[in-house]
Copies of this chain bind each other. A is one copy, B any other.
Amino acid sequence: MVESTRIVLASRPVGAPTPANFRIETVELPPPAEGEVVLRTLYLSLDPYMRGRMSAAESYASPVEIDEVMVAGTVAEVLESRDPSLAEGDVVLAYSGWQSHQVVPAGAVRKLDPDKAPISTALGVLGMPGFTAYSGLLKIGQPKAGETLVVAAASGPVGSAVGQIARIKGARAIGIAGGPDKVAYVRDDLGFDAAIDHRAPDFADQLRAAVPDGIDIYFENVGGAVADAVYPLLNTYARVPVCGLIANYNAADVPEGPDRLPAFYSRILTKSVTVRGFIQSEFVKEMYKDFLRDMSGWIADGSVRYREDIVEGLENAPEAFIGLLEGRNFGKLVVRVG
């Protein structure tokens, strides 16, 4: 009999999540049926979209129910297999959530090759965040040589890939990050053309100075004050792929004024801007193969770099997730469970 330690949603947060919204518990798992495998989680991914799943509000995916396990992409080891496609010891990409073990159908996981890349990258640069960057930038952003791109959370898994891919396509990449360490990393290690600290009092002026030809692509993954500074600088026919709005996720009430919508809408009108929300799953069928080929190549030749922020222990996942929403992580946030 296998026991699983797991973290469930104890209550829905109002505003920012707190440790009290989570509960850790241990359950016994049923034995695997024919066609199923028993997984032991090695790494679990923490991503901003999980804040949406903690709320009951309508979104692109169903909420996590109270007392249910928090959702997450995971990298896991097969402990026992009752399916011929997988063997004990195989390492797989799964969606098994914030828990140490799970029994799932073999068809719900994808086998990884540990020799090709570090297995944790299947949750980051070679996984959902990397594909979000790749698909949204190439399909919606459509960078052209000489254009200017701006992306926030530029030291994170999505933003860092967006800027580096834009540069591969010949565009200038301006990254926005929080604090001097992240700014230095984005500029010096990732090779962005410029990096700006959104906490600087003259942030909007610094951004304006960094984009003398305006902004052709704003890859939107934060919203809030960064978007306020970006929109007035958008060029005619600018593209704004919207993959996340982390600045808004913890908002409990309709925010106070002033009403920023008319100015945004007006910029969209007068500059013929395209704003397009997307979820990476829309493009999986069309682009995932190309993504794995391109991104593996770029990592191998050094044109895309990545950084992981690894937290030890499942029990530390709630605190790490709360910090993620405040920008306390530095790189792709992953919990080492095994």
Contacts and interface: CB of A to CB of B under 8 A. Distances in A.
Interface string A45-59: 000000010000011
Interface stretch (A79-87, A101-109, A266-274): A266-274
The copy count of this chain in the complex is: 2
B245 A265 contact: yes
Contacts of A267: 277
Contact size range, A: 35 or more
A254 interface: yes
A244 interface: yes
B269 A244 contact: yes
A52 B59 CA distance: 36
A258 interface: yes
A227 B254 CA distance: 17
Contacts of A262: 223, 245, 248, 251, 254-255
A219 to B, nearest CB: 13
B248 A254 contact: no
B58 A265 contact: no
A326 interface: no
A274 B268 CA distance: 11
B256 A268 contact: no
Contact of A265 (B60, B223, B256): B223
A244 B262 CA distance: 12
A282 interface: yes
Interface of A: 52, 58-60, 223, 227, 236, 242-245, 248, 251, 254-279, 282
